[in-house]
Amino acid sequence: MEQPKTLQEAIRHYSDEQICIDTVARLRWPNGPECPACGHKEHYYLATQKRWKCKECYKQFTVKLGTIFEDSPIKLDKWLTALWMLVNCKNGVSSYEVAKAIGITQKSAWFVLHRLRFALQTGSIVKLGGGGAPVEVDETFVGGKARNMHKSRRLRMKVREHNWSKTVVMGMLERGGQVKTAVIPERRKVIVDKIVRENILPGAEVHTDEFVGYQGLSDEFTHKVINHLEHYVDGKVHTQGIENFWSLLKRGLSGTYVAVEPFHLFRYVDEQAFRYNHRKDEAGNKLDDGQRFELALSQIAGKRLTFAEVTGKVGESAF
């Protein structure tokens, strides 16, 4: 059967449970199934139960075991369709849309999306700037106006200063390459300075605006500051790449996510970063929806998240 290219084709394609199992197995174990208990590679396949049995330790395992799908009553076909929507809908997708498309409750869809988002967090340990291109660094404020919020929500958010209703997102973009983001508690030197050093290779050329938080980077980096008053005297020193990323992010947030609390914001930011970082392959060819989906799926095996981790609340059940 041919690889799906559109959402409609994906829904039809992944409605077959065996196709879902084969797809996840192929991406999870590129060299063939491995026993999650002992790592052994020889096994029997119990076709009727859709399980493997390890020849070494005799334990049985499914393709879901040890993945974020493991303890969920939601079937793989629905997980995969939700993932397809998540990584391919440009402006993001809401739990309402997913619930409608795959026939589950909105609460379940919300949980499914949050698990998938968590699993997609880039968390890459590779620093930016290795390619020799300049790295643009900038911050932006995301969030609604305090007066439009219910009082209990305002209290819950507990944010300070005059920007107290907004959350600060920091972004670092290697020109022509990848973006990394971080949701930070405050726009302060001690925080932004640390994040730059954690994420960018020493020696790289770093472009920022005149914010005092970035003063002090020149000990480790070639730090170039944009002077907005002089209208980019040096045309190569700018932060337009990261500013474009902010527009994408804000379009998604305002169009799709009506009210994102600061606690959850980093997941939405990561989701947008994932789409941005996977718009092309290493050779610069545009990825199609099916390729982006497979890439995402290959990345999420082995990651798990409990409901408490998703919500920050302990003692509630998922469904």
Q: Which stretch binds Zn ion (CB under 5 A): 20-28, 57-65, 74-82, 257-265?
A: 57-65
| Residue number with CB closer to Zn ion (54 or 260) | 54
| Residue number with CB closer to Zn ion (28 or 207) | 28
Contact flag: residue 204 with Zn ion (CB under 5 A): no
| Residue number with CB closer to Zn ion (36 or 130) | 36
Closest CA to 254 of 148, 99, 144, 180: 144
**What's the closest the beta carbon of residue 39 comes to Zn ion, in angstroms?**
7
Q: Would you report the helix, strand and coil content of the chain in percent, each value rounded to 5?
A: 45, 15, 45
Helix (H) or strand (E) holding 81: helix 76-88
Question: For the window 251-270, what string marks contact with Zn ion as x by the rule CB under 5 A?
Answer: --------------------
Closest CA to 176 of 288, 287, 90, 284: 284
Q: Which stretch binds Zn ion (CB under 5 A): 51-59, 70-78, 182-190, 214-222?
A: 51-59
SS3 37: coil
Contact flag: residue 308 with Zn ion (CB under 5 A): no
For the record, the structure tokens of 33 come out as 């199934």
Contact flag: residue 42 with Zn ion (CB under 5 A): no
Contacting Zn ion (CB under 5 A), which of 20, 54, 89, 196?
54
SS3 76: helix
Distance CA 309, CA 263 (A): 11
**What's the closest the beta carbon of residue 26 comes to Zn ion, in angstroms?**
20
Contact flag: residue 226 with Zn ion (CB under 5 A): no
Contacting Zn ion (CB under 5 A), which of 40, 75, 250, 303?
40
Distance CA 225, CA 234 (A): 10
**What's the closest the beta carbon of residue 25 comes to Zn ion, in angstroms?**
16
Instruction: Name the pairing type of β-strands 205-208 and 222-225.
Output: parallel
| Residue number with CB closer to Zn ion (54 or 137) | 54
| Backbone phi, psi, residue 138, to 5° | -160, 165
Longest dimension (CA), the chain: 71
**What's the closest the beta carbon of residue 57 comes to Zn ion, in angstroms?**
3
Q: Which stretch binds Zn ion (CB under 5 A): 37-45, 129-137, 195-203, 247-255?
A: 37-45
| Residue number with CB closer to Zn ion (54 or 76) | 54
Distance CA 88, CA 279 (A): 10
Contact flag: residue 37 with Zn ion (CB under 5 A): yes
Cβ proximity of 53 and 44 under 8 Å: yes
**Per rule CB under 5 A, count of chain residues that contact Zn ion:** 7
At CA 58, angle to CA 46 and CA 76, rounded to 5? 45
**What's the closest the beta carbon of residue 60 comes to Zn ion, in angstroms?**
9
Q: How many alpha carbons lie under 13 Å from residue 92 in its C-beta half-sphere?
A: 28
Q: Which stretch binds Zn ion (CB under 5 A): 36-44, 155-163, 205-213, 256-264?
A: 36-44
Q: What part of residues 67-106 is at the interface with Zn ion (CB under 5 A)?
A: none
| Residue number with CB closer to Zn ion (43 or 207) | 43
Closest CA to 177 of 23, 43, 280, 27: 280
Q: Which residues bind Zn ion (CB under 5 A)?
A: 35, 37-38, 40, 54, 56-57
